[in-house]
Every structure is written in C-alpha cells, then in structure tokens.
C-alpha cells in the first residue's frame, strides 16, 4: 500500500508550451503545469492570445539562445499574411515582422536560429510568388536571401544549417516540376543540388 504522504511528497512539474488554433478566431500560447499527488491537478496559464492584428494561427515555436520563444503565425498581422514574433517567458509579445506578400506570405515552416544568432525561415509569396528564404535579426531586420521562381524551385519547405554554415532545404517545382534540394550560403548564393 502506498502511503498518502509519500504520494504528496512526490511532485512532477512539466512545463509545456502549447500552441493551438481555435476555429480561426483566437489562438493562444500557454504553459501547462502538471502536479502529481493524491489528486491530479493541471493548470494552463495563457501567456498570450492572438487576435488577428498580432497574428493568427501560431506554430513552430523555438527557444532562442536568449531564452525567449520565437515563432511564426500563418496569417494575421498588418496584411493578414503572417508574422514572426518573439515571446518572453513572462508573456511579453513583440511582433518582429508582419509579412506583406511582397516580402513573403503565409509561412508554413518553423524558424531556425543560425550559428550567428539570426533567425532563418522559408515562406511563400515574395517577388515571384514562389517563395523565399529569409534572414531575420533578433531586433527584427528582415532580409531576403533567396527568391524562388518556379524553375529553381517553388514552395520551399523547412531549413537546416549544415556544419559548414550553409543552409539546406527542399522545394516543389524546379526543372522537372517535381522538386529540388538546394544549398544556400549565408550570403545568399543559391545552388540546386538535386532535381527530383
């Protein structure tokens, strides 16, 4: 028989960052704290609620080297084309970028933090409408590193950074129309490694 006081003395705390899309109207990010004991208790603390103007449809959270959370929203922001946001552990939200279609629209992949501390991601839209790879400084300065135009790829997926410092990813489109694998230097030199 397990004694009640032994159960009460054992506590498990699990903090989980949640991202949920609630019917396209409201989105929230919170922390879940679970304690085990004689009775199960769970508390969800909402850190921020998205309302459209500050973003809509958040996902893809990562923790930056400074301890803050960074993520994207698929829609919302000034042009309803998505945002990149920073969220402190105490719940202070800063919109770093509001996409406007010419600089990209509706991001669908998570950010990565490069070895230089900047954030990198892929997005649809851009100058040709076929997507871009972007670089974002922690202070919110956005640069387009590469633009896809269909023949060199379209609709880029997520990125990884190789041990050589270059970025690698995949796209649809390309010469065959079935996709590509690409390499991108931090200075923006794009090479197609394979056409699928």
Query: Average pLDDT for residues 164-191, to the nearest whole number?
Result: 96
Helix (H, G, I), strand (E, B) or coil at 109: coil
Q: Which of 121, 119, 124, 122 is nearest to 100 (CA)?
A: 124
The pair of structure tokens assigned to 139 is 């202070």
The 3-class SS string of 55-77 reads EEEEEEEEECCCCCEEEEEEECC
| Phi (first) and psi of residue 54, to 5 degrees | -100, 10
pLDDT at 31: 52
Grade residue 37 by pLDDT with cuts at 50, 70 and 90: low
First to last CA, the chain: 62
- pTM score, whole prediction: 0.79
């Amino acid at each position: 028989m397990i004694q009640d006081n032994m159960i009460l003395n054992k506590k498990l705390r699990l903090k989980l960052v949640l991202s949920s899309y609630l019917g396209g109207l409201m989105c929230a990010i919170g922390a879940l704290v679970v304690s085990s004991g004689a009775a199960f208790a769970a508390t969800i603390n909402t850190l921020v609620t998205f309302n459209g103007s500050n973003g809509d449809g958040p996902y893809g959270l990562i923790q930056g080297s400074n301890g803050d959370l960074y993520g994207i929203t698929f829609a919302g922001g000034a042009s309803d084309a998505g945002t990149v946001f920073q969220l402190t552990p105490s719940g202070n939200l800063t919109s770093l970028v509001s996409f406007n279609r010419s600089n990209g629209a509706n991001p669908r992949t998570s950010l990565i933090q490069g070895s230089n501390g900047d954030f990198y991601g892929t997005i649809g839209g851009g100058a040709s409408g076929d997507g871009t790879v972007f670089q974002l400084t922690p202070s919110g300065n956005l640069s387009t590193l590469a633009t896809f135009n269909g023949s060199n790829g379209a609709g880029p997926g997520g990125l990884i950074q190789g041990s050589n410092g270059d970025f690698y990813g995949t796209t649809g489109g390309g010469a065959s129309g079935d996709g590509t694998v690409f390499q991108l230097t931090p200075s923006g030199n794009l090479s197609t490694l394979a056409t699928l």
